[in-house]
């Protein structure tokens, strides 16, 4: 299966999961909040932090209102692109400062782009990768333009059928860029577990022979950690300083405790996955001698007496004769007197 590299980090099967914190709209229009989020993300052990970049008048029709997206109570009745401009988007003149701050904290930093113009704007900050949101899977001209930047692309797949994803993959590769990771995604905020379909992760791997991650909007970490066992190589989660803050994405985002829990859970899951070969650890080999069964005298057996199923049993510990030898032992005679509960050894058998 193909791999990509992000700032020297290999992404794909057999490599550590790349964990991305999506700040998105959860900046509260405060530089202090953004920097504190970046600091918290770095301290929690994330690998990267991500922003959103778009022109609301390109992405939304002017006829979509807060009422249409069920945010009238939060923002009043107005065009949604006004809310996106004034509340959702990180101001573009903050990007240089925030990219620099994230890099000072040792994080990879990048953004979702929604147009070639967005990508051109982001290029001035030299992001190592681009993210494509689910809404743009069918925007093939944009995907071809983005591919021409020759940087790795993370492509979210929410709301799209397999054939639509296939056309997107083909468009990007045909444009000369095969450095692509698909992100399984369910475009609900948050989704119910029954709709997550995490088994899509190995299905997408088999179908496209590409690395596959998981862009998770769940309000907890269970699905994200489970996805690691299914082969997810990138996990993306929204983050916030406080779920009670006002805004569309705070309620399901990870707070600081949730961030730490996610990273610890993923790293623990990775350790637990181990290898596909059947190898017993030193600790389990030690347990093997105590916890398995072996052949034991069920009753006292005099010298010259015959071994039978009536005077033998299979019991712990496992450092005597292996149970597989029981049938070959039956009918043979004891070489010495054997006490009840003794472990049978070959030197006791004539």
CATH of the domain at 337: 3.90.1210.10
Q: Are residues 144 and 181 in the same domain?
A: yes
Per-residue pLDDT reduced to its tens digit, 21-68: 999 999 999 999 999 999 999 999 999 999 999 999 999 999 999 999
Per-residue pLDDT reduced to its tens digit, 265-293: 999 999 999 888 999 999 998 898 889 99
pLDDT attached to residue 275: 87
Per-residue tokens: 183: 């992100």
Average pLDDT over residues 226-253: 97
| Coil/strand/helix, residue 153 | strand
Q: Are residues 254 and 312 in the same domain?
A: no
Locate all alpha helices (DSSP H) within 105-199, ordered by sequence: 116-123, 140-147, 162-174
Q: Are residues 172 and 217 in the same domain?
A: yes
CATH of the domain at 105: 3.20.20.70
Question: 273, 306, 336: which is the final residue of a domain?
Answer: 273
Task: Look at the chain and report how many structural domains it folds into.
Answer: 2
The Cα–Cα gap between 217 and 189 comes to 6
Q: Are residues 10 and 124 in the same domain?
A: yes
Q: Are residues 318 and 261 in the same domain?
A: no
Give the contacts of 139 (CB within 8 A, at least 6 positions apart).
none
Question: 273, 303, 335: which is the final residue of a domain?
Answer: 273
Asked whether residue 81 is domain-assigned, the answer is no
Band of pLDDT at residue 119, cut at 50, 70 and 90: very high
Per-residue pLDDT reduced to its tens digit, 65-117: 999 999 999 999 999 999 999 999 999 999 999 999 999 999 999 999 999 99
Band of pLDDT at residue 195, cut at 50, 70 and 90: very high
Average pLDDT over residues 335-343: 97
pLDDT attached to residue 244: 96
Average pLDDT over residues 163-170: 98
Asked whether residue 61 is domain-assigned, the answer is no
Asked whether residue 21 is domain-assigned, the answer is yes
Q: Are residues 260 and 292 in the same domain?
A: no
pLDDT attached to residue 136: 98
Average pLDDT over residues 139-143: 98
Question: 273, 297, 327: which is the final residue of a domain?
Answer: 273
Q: Are residues 183 and 40 in the same domain?
A: yes
Asked whether residue 247 is domain-assigned, the answer is yes
Q: Are residues 297 and 258 in the same domain?
A: no
Q: Whole-prediction pTM value?
A: 0.90
pLDDT attached to residue 289: 86
Phi-psi region of 219 (alpha: psi -120 to 50; beta: other; left: phi over 0): alpha
Q: Are residues 173 and 287 in the same domain?
A: no
Average pLDDT over residues 140-163: 98
Asked whether residue 287 is domain-assigned, the answer is yes
pLDDT attached to residue 276: 87
Q: Are residues 113 and 257 in the same domain?
A: yes
Asked whether residue 196 is domain-assigned, the answer is yes
Give the contacts of 93 (CB within 8 A, at least 6 positions apart).
none
pLDDT attached to residue 320: 92
Q: Are residues 139 and 226 in the same domain?
A: yes
Q: Are residues 327 and 180 in the same domain?
A: no
Domain of residue 334: give its range: 282-348
């Amino acid at each position: 299966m193909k791999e990509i590299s992000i700032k020297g980090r290999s992404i794909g099967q057999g490599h550590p999961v790349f964990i991305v914190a999506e700040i998105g709209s959860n900046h509260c229009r405060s530089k202090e909040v953004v920097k504190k989020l970046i600091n918290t993300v770095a301290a929690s052990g994330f690998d990267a932090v991500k922003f959103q970049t778009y022109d609301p008048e390109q992405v939304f029709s002017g006829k979509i209102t807060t009422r249409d997206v069920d945010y009238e109570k939060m923002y009043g009745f107005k065009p949604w692109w006004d809310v996106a401009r004034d509340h959702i988007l990180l101001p573009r003149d903050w990007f240089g400062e925030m990219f620099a701050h994230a890099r000072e904290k040792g994080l990879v930093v990048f953004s979702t782009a929604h147009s070639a113009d967005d990508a051109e704007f982001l290029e001035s900050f030299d992001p190592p990768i681009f993210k494509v949101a689910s809404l743009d899977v069918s925007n093939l001209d944009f995907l071809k333009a983005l591919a021409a930047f020759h940087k790795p692309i993370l492509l979210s797949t929410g709301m799209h059928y397999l054939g639509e994803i296939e056309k997107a993959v083909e468009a990007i590769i045909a444009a000369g860029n095969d450095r692509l990771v698909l992100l399984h995604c369910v475009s609900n905020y948050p989704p119910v577990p029954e709709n997550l379909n995490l088994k899509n992760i190995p299905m997408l791997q088999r179908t496209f022979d590409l690395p596959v991650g998981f862009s998770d909007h769940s309000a907890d970490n269970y699905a994200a950690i489970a996805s690691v066992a299914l082969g997810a190589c990138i996990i993306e989660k929204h983050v916030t300083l406080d779920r009670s803050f006002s805004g569309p994405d705070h309620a399901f985002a990870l707070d600081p405790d949730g961030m730490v829990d996610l990273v610890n859970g993923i790293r623990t899951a990775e350790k637990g996955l181990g290898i596909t070969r059947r190898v017993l650890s030193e600790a389990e080999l030690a347990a093997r001698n105590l916890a398995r069964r072996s052949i034991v005298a069920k009753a006292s057996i005099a010298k010259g007496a015959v071994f039978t199923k009536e005077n033998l049993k299979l019991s712990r510990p496992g450092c005597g004769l292996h149970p597989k030898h029981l049938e070959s032992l039956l009918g043979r005679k004891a070489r010495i007197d054997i006490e009840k509960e003794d472990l049978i050894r070959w030197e006791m058998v004539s």
